[in-house]
């Protein structure tokens, strides 16, 4: 089968013929219909800021497809089933897994990071990684729900515990933030403020349902947010950028008693405000990492029911041969893509 393999940062992926892995005991082989290009892929392949334990490896971790073959002992799935792939194979044995917090498993194998990924005609993985994909949900949307959308859902709904009527500021209106805005609206948020430095991102934020947008390029986002909220600030700020400046402004944009959820990842060191305002205002700072299976299932259900419209989230579907061009455009944001999805089958 054909697959896009990563050898080293800043080098193009190589489209190569590789051996498809037959499904072992408890495994399922999935013919990949769609696999999204994620920021993590760009950190790996273009920036080199995430190092992989071994190379070459097939990248790609947000995928959907059709069951092609099942290994022995698999009863729940059969050839032809439409599926979304849950990309993390947790160990099930460590203390995090035993506490039900699989996202914190240190031994987890992640598709396209430390096990062969889905920018390939097929991928083989444990049956427990599959989630049913209803016929109402297209493969490209079925691919991006497991990551771009579910990560935002966890940050806003679970870690952020957004309640109806609350005000929320979303810092970073790229693939995660735009979905964060849509989900905040769906969850009944009052004011929804989209914050970004790029004009295209702010336009998309407004289209996604932001009641206000704030151009953060002047470095005064918090001040502008206070101006929009009768000087009070917001109940919840969610940060999807992963930079010190953005986290700092997000913290400053909170009202007394407000909560900040940081979902952006990076190497920056961030500071708390002076304790008299942090403690005096009883602020909360939380991190949000990834998503769990139930969160993906919830998002799929909402899309299938028509409650959550993701039809504009996939900006391009490209063949495997165009993957390097897709990575380049996802990185430079040329044409303002939300998600570019690869269709490995051609
Ligand atoms: Zn990802
Ligand atoms: Zn574990």
Return averaged pLDDT per consecutive 10 residues of the chain, 346 residues in all.
Answer: 97 96 96 95 92 95 97 97 95 91 90 96 96 97 93 98 98 94 98 95 95 97 97 97 96 98 93 95 97 95 96 94 97 88 89
- What's the pLDDT at 346? 64
- What's the pLDDT at 243? 94
- What's the pLDDT at 138? 97
How many whole angstroms from 96 Cα to the centroid of ligand 1? Answer: 21
- What's the pLDDT at 338? 86
- The reply to whether omega before 50 is within 30° of 0 (cis) is no
How many whole angstroms from 39 Cα to the centroid of ligand 1? Answer: 6
Residue written as token pair 């952006």: 264
Q: Is the dihedral of CA 137, 173, 44, 340 positive or negative?
A: positive
- What's the pLDDT at 129? 94
- What's the pLDDT at 269? 96
The candidate with the shortest Cα–Cα distance to 58, out of 11, 112, 135, is 112
Q: Show the domains of the chain with their CATH numbers.
A: 2-148+291-343 (3.90.180.10), 161-287 (3.40.50.720)
Q: Six-digit token pair at 219?
A: 């470095």
- What's the pLDDT at 334? 87
Q: How far apart are CA 272 and CA 283, in angstroms?
A: 10
Q: How far apart are CA 316 and CA 169, in angstroms?
A: 28
What DSSP designation does 140 have? H
Q: Six-digit token pair at 286?
A: 């939380």
- What's the pLDDT at 288? 97
Is 0.85 topped by the overall pTM?
A: yes
Q: Six-digit token pair at 189?
A: 């948020």
- What's the pLDDT at 143? 96
Ligand nearest to the CA of 92: 2
Q: How far apart are CA 58 and CA 314, in angstroms?
A: 22
For residue 124, the surrounding DSSP H or E stretch is: strand 122-126
How many whole angstroms from 42 Cα to the centroid of ligand 1? Answer: 10
How many whole angstroms from 327 Cα to the centroid of ligand 1? Answer: 13
- What's the pLDDT at 100? 87
- Tally Cβ neighbours within 10 Å of residue 218: 10
The C-alpha angle 27, 28, 33, rounded to 5 degrees, equals 150
How many whole angstroms from 236 Cα to the centroid of ligand 1? Answer: 24
The candidate with the shortest Cα–Cα distance to 235, out of 192, 264, 294, is 192
How many whole angstroms from 44 Cα to the centroid of ligand 2? Answer: 24
Q: Give residues with Cβ within 8 angstroms of 216, minimum separation 6.
A: 171, 195, 196, 197, 246, 249
Ligand nearest to the CA of 147: 1
Q: Give residues with Cβ within 8 angstroms of 99, minimum separation 6.
A: none
């Amino acid at each position: 089968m054909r697959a896009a393999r990563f050898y080293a940062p800043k080098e193009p992926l190589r489209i190569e013929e590789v051996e498809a892995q037959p499904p072992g005991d408890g495994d399922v082989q999935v013919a990949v219909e769609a696999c999204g290009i994620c920021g993590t892929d760009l950190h790996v392949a273009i920036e080199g800021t995430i190092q992989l334990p071994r190379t070459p490896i097939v990248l790609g971790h947000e995928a959907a497809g059709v069951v092609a073959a099942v290994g022995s002992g698999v009863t729940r799935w059969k050839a032809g089933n439409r599926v979304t792939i849950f990309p993390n194979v947790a160990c099930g044995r460590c203390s995090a897994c035993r506490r039900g917090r699989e996202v914190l498993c240190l031994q987890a194998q992640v598709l396209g990071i430390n096990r062969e990924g889905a920018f390939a005609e097929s991928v083989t993985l444990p049956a427990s990684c599959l989630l049913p994909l209803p016929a109402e949900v297209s493969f490209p949307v079925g691919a991006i729900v497991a990551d771009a959308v579910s990560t935002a859902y966890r940050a806003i709904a679970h870690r952020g515990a957004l309640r109806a009527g609350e005000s929320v500021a979303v810092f970073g209106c790229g693939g995660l933030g735009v979905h964060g805005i849509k989900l905040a609206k769906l969850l009944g948020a009052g004011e929804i403020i989209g914050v970004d430095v790029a004009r295209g991102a702010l336009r998309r934020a407004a289209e996604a349902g932001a009641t206000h947008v704030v151009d953060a390029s002047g470095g005064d986002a918090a001040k502008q947010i206070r101006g929009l909220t009768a000087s009070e600030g917001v109940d919840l700020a969610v940060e999807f950028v992963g930079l010190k400046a953005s986290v700092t402004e997000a913290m400053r944009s909170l009202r007394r008693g407000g909560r900040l959820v940081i979902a952006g990842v990076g190497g920056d060191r961030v500071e708390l405000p002076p304790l008299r305002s942090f403690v005096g205002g009883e602020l909360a700072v939380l991190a949000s990492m990834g998503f769990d299976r139930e969160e993906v299932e919830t998002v799929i259900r909402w899309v299938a029911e028509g409650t959550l419209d993701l039809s504009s989230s996939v900006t391009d579907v490209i063949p495997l041969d165009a993957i390097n061009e897709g990575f380049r455009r996802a990185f430079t944001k040329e044409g303002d893509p939300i998600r570019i999805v690869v269709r490995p089958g051609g």
